[in-house]
Amino acid sequence: MSGLSAAVVQASGFLDLTGVLSNAILGGVVARNERFDPIGFATLAIISGLGGGLIRDTLLQHGTPIALTDPWYVITALIGATIAFLIPVEGRLWNAIFPWIDALALGTWAVAGATKTLSVGLGALPAVILGAVTAVGGGAVREVLLRQVPSVFGGNTLYATPALVASGLLVLLNRLGHPTVGLVVGTLGGAGFMLLSRWRQW
């Protein structure tokens, strides 16, 4: 993907880690609700924070997944687990900020996943799909492990559609020659779509 500058790739890496932290915290919150022990917190945080990226990198088959080669990924996931374990993230404040974290994490991951897929030379359709897989994959694996039907199939909160919006916008703007604009518009577009769908209760 010649249109991607080094700065954009670096920004994508930072977005990736931000998504790891927020999703690891979300995984830890689920672990608290399930009354898991510390190992359960760490496991759910790692699955939630690294699962989508591990699935993407395993499918891309361009070397060992970055979640294993770059130590900051596991460390960030464990920091998220520790935060969720130490701080009872619930109540009015949590309910007020949770949807915003959730939406931003979804947008950043979909965009990061689509960017990485394009960067190894795959086409638009796999980029859109693997962007969405990056965004919803970790959560879906967590739900399967906890014996829930993955919410990507529906339910009271939309996940898959905003993720497809985010990765779709990124791929489109990439093809139009605006990769950096795509990162911003894709992330905010996906996050905005998700907040709107939650607010309007689609």
| Residue ranges binding its own copies (CB under 8 A) | 34, 36-37, 39-40, 43-44, 46, 54, 58-65, 68-69, 71, 74-75, 120, 122-123, 125-126, 129-130, 140, 144-150, 152-154, 160-161, 164
Please state the closest distance from residue 125 (CB atom) to its own copies, in A.
5
Nearer to its own copies, 18 or 43 (CB): 43
Instruction: Report whether 135 contacts 20 (CB < 8 A).
Output: no
Estimate to the nearest angstrom the gap between the alpha carbon of 106 and the chain centroid. 5
Helix (H, G, I), strand (E, B) or coil at 54: helix
Is 39 or 97 the residue whose CB approaches its own copies more closely?
39
Q: In the bound complex, what is the minimum distance in angstroms from residue 124's beta carbon to its own copies?
A: 9
Paired tokens of 196? 């709107």
CA distance 83 to 72: 16
Residue 162 CB contacts under 8 Å (≥ 6 apart), including other chains: 103, 106, 107, 110, 190, 191, 193, 194, 197
In angstroms, the CA 91 to CA 80 distance is 18
Shortest gap between Cβ of 196 and its own copies (angstroms)? 16
Nearer to its own copies, 59 or 181 (CB): 59
Q: How far is the CB of 181 from its own copies (least distance, A)?
A: 25
